[in-house]
Amino acid sequence: MKQFIKRLLGIGNTDTLEILKKKGFRPGANFNMRHDCIIDFSHSWHIEIGDDVTLAPRVHIIAHDASTWNYLGYTKIKNVKIGNRVFIGAGSIILPGVTIGNDVIVGAGSVVTKDIPDNTVVAGNPAKFRIATDAYIHQEKAKMNAENCFGTEFSEGNNATADQKALMKKMAEKHGIIFAE
């Protein structure tokens, strides 16, 4: 309901991003933040994001830990750095003090508690190494063929027809996976 009201009022990620930028947040070029992401509003200037980074829906990036507030009257704050060409899957959480290298893929639902080196795919809670990014991309590219690859005309944003959607579904059942632009 809250999201519906925000959309109705024209309040969305674009507005949130502009507010964060005014507070000192500086994302790199080609930054793509999908809906319902949370970038630590109270400490956004402690978060550095490189170029060509995508945050899938509901990603959280947190730069502070208020667990000490009730006991010490202070909140712990750590910088977060995300490199270039990084994809962070839906529902993932990046905790304070984490550095994510370049060419990294974080699987959906992951909790990143430690630094991630360049060229790495991680997933899980806590996030753990799964495969090198270049090996993963090679592996997935080998699965692509003329039957299971679909152009932009098949996307919802381009008003894919019912026949196009049915064909995609049929091919996903046949191949177990399809690829769309």
Residue of 46, 60, 64, 138 with catalytic role? 64
Q: What element of type H or E holds 168?
A: helix 162-175
Q: What element of type H or E holds 70?
A: helix 69-72
Residues near 112 by beta carbon (within 8 Å), at least 6 away in sequence: 92, 93, 94, 95, 98, 100, 106, 122, 126, 127
Catalytic annotation present for 64: yes
How far is Cα 167 from Cα 173, in angstroms, rounded to an integer? Answer: 10
Structure-token pair, residue 130: 């799964």
Q: Which of 100, 95, 31, 89 is nearest to 58 (CA)?
A: 89
Q: What residues are labeled active site?
A: 64
